[in-house]
Amino acid sequence: METRRIYLDHNATTPLHPEVKKEMVEAMEMFGNPSSMHAFGREARANVEHSRQVVADFIGAHEDELVFVGSGSEANNTVLSLFACASNLCLPGFRAKTSIITTKIEHPCVLETSECLAHKGTKVKFLDVDQYGRVDMDQFKEYLTDNVGLVSVMTANNEIGTIQDIAEIAKLAHANGSLVHTDAVQAIGKMRMNVSDLGVDFLTMSAHKIYGPKGIGALYVKKGTPYCPFIRGGHQEKGRRAGTENTLGIIGLAKAIEMRDAEMDEEIKRMVEMKQALKNGIEGSIDDAVFNGHPTLSMPNTLNVSFPGAEGEAIMLYLDLQGIAVSTGSACASGSLDPSHVLLATGSSPERAHGSIRISMGRETTMEDIGYMLDVLPGVIKRIRSMSTAYITGGEHVAAK
C-alpha cells in the first residue's frame, strides 16, 4: 500500500499554484530583454510593468515604489546595507545615524547582516521578545534614541507565526526620525496588508512563499525614502537593482499575487479551523505538549509545538517515513546543533527548543490531512519518548506498550 503524502511545511516553501504554472508556461516563448527597444523587448517590458502594477496594488503601493529582486534575503540585505551606506553620508539629505534596531527572532538573513554591520562599526541593538514572541515595547522605546537610523522588525515570525504590531512600531520610530523596514515574507498572502496602514518605509516579500516561483521577490520602497542600490551595474529597475529582469519569475509573482487576492480570505477561514482542530487533537492525545507562539496574534496556518522527551529531528524523520512533511524547531537540519534562536528568545530551554516541530498548512491542506496527522503523531511521540533516558512523567519513565 502506497504511503500517503502530506505536505505541512508551507512556511519553508510552497508548490506552484496551477494558475501560476499555466501563466508561466504560456510566457516561456517570450524571451526578449525588457531593456531592449525592439518589439521583443517591448513585449517583455509591458509584462514586467503590468506585473509591477498588480503587486503594488495588492499592498496599496504605487507601482514606482516597487523594486523586483532575486529573493526576500536580497531585499532584506538591500535595506540593511542601504542604511550602512547612508550612515556614511553616501546619500545626500539623509541625516547621519549610527545605529539599527532589530529583534532577536528575525530571519537569519537579517540577523547575520546586522551582525556583519556591527563588526564594521554600525551599532546594532537586538530587541527581546516575550514568551509568545512579541516585541518588548518598553525596551523598544528605551532603545529608540536620536542616533537610531533604521528599525527592522518582521511582520510575522516564520517559526512560531507570531504577528507584531508593525503600525505602532512604525509610528514610534517615525516620531524619532528613524526609517522602518518590515520583513513581510511570511505574512504576505496570509493576511491583508497595506503599506499606508502599516506606515513602513520598506517592505519585503517573496514569491515562493505564496505559491509562486523561487528566485524572485519584491521590495517596497516608499516614495522619497533614501535608497542606494545593493547590486550595481545597470539601469534596470530605474537604477535601483542592476541585472536583466527575471521576466518569467516576475510574471509568476504577479499571478501568485492575483490568486492570493482571490483565494486568501476564504482560505484563512479554513486554516483557522484546521489549526484549531490540530491543536485540540494534540492536546487530547499527547501528554506534555507545549505550544509556542502567541495563542491569537499568529498566522492562521502555523502551529509550533514542543514535545519534551522527544527530539525534533527524530519527530520529523519518523513523520517523514509516514509520508508527512514538517520542519523541526531546531537548526540541526542545516548543519547546526544549535536549537532554534526564536524559541530560545521566547525563554524556552534548549531541551524544549530541540523537541519542537513546526506544522505549516497551505491551500491544498484538508481536514482529512489533519486527521491523518493526528492518527500518526501520538504514536511517533510515544515511540521516541520510550527510547528517551530523560523523559519522565508522574515520577516514572515512559515506556512504549
Q: Which positions are annotated as active-site residues?
A: 332
DSSP reduced 3-state for 262: helix
Query: Are 68 and 216 spatial neighbours (Cβ–Cβ below 8 Å)?
Result: yes
- Residue listed under C-alpha cell 542592476: 242
Distance of CA 8 to the CA centre of its chain: 16
Asked if 220 and 66 touch (Cβ cutoff 8 Å), the reply is yes
Alpha-carbon distances of 366 from 251, 267, 346, rounded to whole Å: 28, 11, 31
| CB burial string 251-281: b at 16+ within 10 A, e below | bbbbbbbbbbeeebeebbebbeebbeebbeb
Cα–Cα distance list, 126 to 199, 202, 238, 361 (Å): 21, 19, 33, 30
Question: Could you give the CA distance from residue 384 to residue 399 in angstroms, rounded to a whole number?
Answer: 9
Pair type for strands 202-206 and 179-183: parallel
